[in-house]
Structure 1
Amino acid sequence: MTTPPPEPLRAPLETGLSALALPAALADPLLAYLALLERWNATYNLTAVRDPRQMVTLHLLDSLALAPHMAGIARLADLGTGPGLPGIPLAIACPGLEVTLVESNGKKARFLREAVRQLPLRNARVAESRAEALDAPAAFDAITARALATLAEIIAVGGHLLAPGGRLLAMKGVRPDAELAAMPAGWRVQAVHPLQVPGLAAERHLVVVARDD
């Protein structure tokens, strides 16, 4: 496992984990992931967030705010995952969850493979592909996307991946009322959950979308 970054990051991370009702033991693998991301980011520009303390809030804790909503989900596809957000933190926090990290950018996919190898994450795999080109019809209980596109666009590129009864879990900032009003035919909004991200004043929402019955 890669060496975690300096200990000052541990306290805000453990405080955030406690606020999310997640175990403090997750701090070690999460900090190891953050250290690897920082190292690669210096060369490959994987994320615009450079400050490690901001990474704790904006990357780790923001992703983990989705963890309570993983109940009942066995197979998750994270579309346009970039450097593995929210997929890698969720794979760390939910070892029973099988996570497929879908990313078409070559340098980001290389980082993802290295992260899966080093951490190591036996419940995660990398699919270097555009979501619409991923040949895995009806293979997942849920798909998620973090700042990828509008709800309609996510459904257009990733809807084929959902098994019967599957759901789109879309991470959004402010409540996306315009997107909610523009759902494509055959799909419905099941729920909109406000998310509380420790240390973050900005709004976050989880939009749950399912096929019409």
Structure 2
Amino acid sequence: MPDPALRAELAAGCQKLEVDVSPAQLDLLCEYLALLAKWNRAYNLTAVRDPAEMVRKHLLDSLAIAPLVLGQRLIDVGTGGGLPGVPLSILYPQREFHLLDSNSKKTRFLFQVKTALGLDNMTVHHARVESFQPEALFDTVLSRAFASLQDMVSGCRHLLADGGHFQAMKGIFPETEIADLAGVCEILAVTPLEVPGLAEQRHLVDMRLLSPGAS
């Protein structure tokens, strides 16, 4: 049984974010949270130890981008403990999510999550992003705290289908990082996010590669 207080906080947070979650999805999110807290003790998946803090800093933080996420086939690069990939997989069972990480402990944990939660729309890959060759390209490459925007674009462009989007979760407005992509990417939107219970700044950067010859 999920912790009633944590479930209530998560439900209230989703309501504030205007993210529509069913009772069954709330239960899955709470089950994921319990697995994350349990495995974190041995595997050091996240520096956040308190489950109540995990609700705000991990689950609601990931779900804040849900209304803005594009595409049918998506990859979460450097997913770590499965953020934002696992919450989004739970929220959007009709979409295809691929979670990529080079850390074998983290991908072992994610395989456990996939099995325990029955997430058939989620695929886990243990590989370095630079060497990963997917069977098919992705509509959207997602990242959360993955290094700079420039590193994300240069390291992941081989994963993106024509016309696809890079969507990067950042903290403060990444003015310098955006400037570094001049001539490489078109910045489609930088959306400020308000995460319930979190006073820190959050933004989602939506980008698309410029076609050759474009300025």
TM-score, normalised with respect to structure 2: 0.93
Aligned counterpart, 1:84: 82
Equivalent positions of 1:1-213 (< 5 A) are: 3-4=1-2, 6-21=3-18, 22-25=20-23, 26-71=25-70, 73-136=71-134, 139-183=137-181, 185-213=183-211
Q: Deviations over 1:166-202 (max 9, x none)?
A: 0000000000000011006432211101111111111
Q: In structure 2, the residue corresponding to 1:136 is in which secondary structure?
A: coil
Letter in 1 for 2:157: G
Give the stretch that moved more between structures: 105-114 or 181-190.
181-190
2:29 and 2:46 map into 1 onto residues whose CA distance is: 16
Are the counterparts in 2 of residues 138 and 162 from structure 1 also a CA contact under 8 Å? Answer: no
Letter in 2 for 1:103: D
Are the counterparts in 2 of residues 138 and 160 from structure 1 also a CA contact under 8 Å? Answer: no
1:186 and 1:172 map into 2 onto residues whose CA distance is: 19
Q: In structure 2, the residue corresponding to 1:179 is in which secondary structure?
A: helix
Are the counterparts in 2 of residues 61 and 197 from structure 1 also a CA contact under 8 Å? Answer: yes
Q: In structure 1, the residue corresponding to 2:31 is in which secondary structure?
A: helix
In the TM superposition, what is the alpha-carbon distance from 1:100 to its structure 2 partner?
0.3
Are the counterparts in 2 of residues 99 and 124 from structure 1 also a CA contact under 8 Å? Answer: yes
Which residues of structure 2 form unaligned runs of 5+? none
Are the counterparts in 2 of residues 138 and 164 from structure 1 also a CA contact under 8 Å? Answer: no
1:82 and 1:184 map into 2 onto residues whose CA distance is: 29
Letter in 1 for 2:49: R
Q: Paired residues, what number? A: 209
Q: Deviations over 1:14-44 (max 9, x none)?
A: 1001112222522110000001111111111
Q: In structure 2, the residue corresponding to 1:202 is in which secondary structure?
A: coil
Identity of aligned residues (%): 47
Letter in 2 for 1:182: D
2:83 and 2:9 map into 1 onto residues whose CA distance is: 19
Letter in 1 for 2:7: R
RMSD, aligned α-carbons: 1.3
Are the counterparts in 2 of residues 14 and 24 from structure 1 also a CA contact under 8 Å? Answer: no
Give the stretch that moved more between structures: 130-139 or 106-115.
130-139
1:135 and 1:107 map into 2 onto residues whose CA distance is: 21
Give the stretch that moved more between structures: 23-32 or 46-55.
23-32
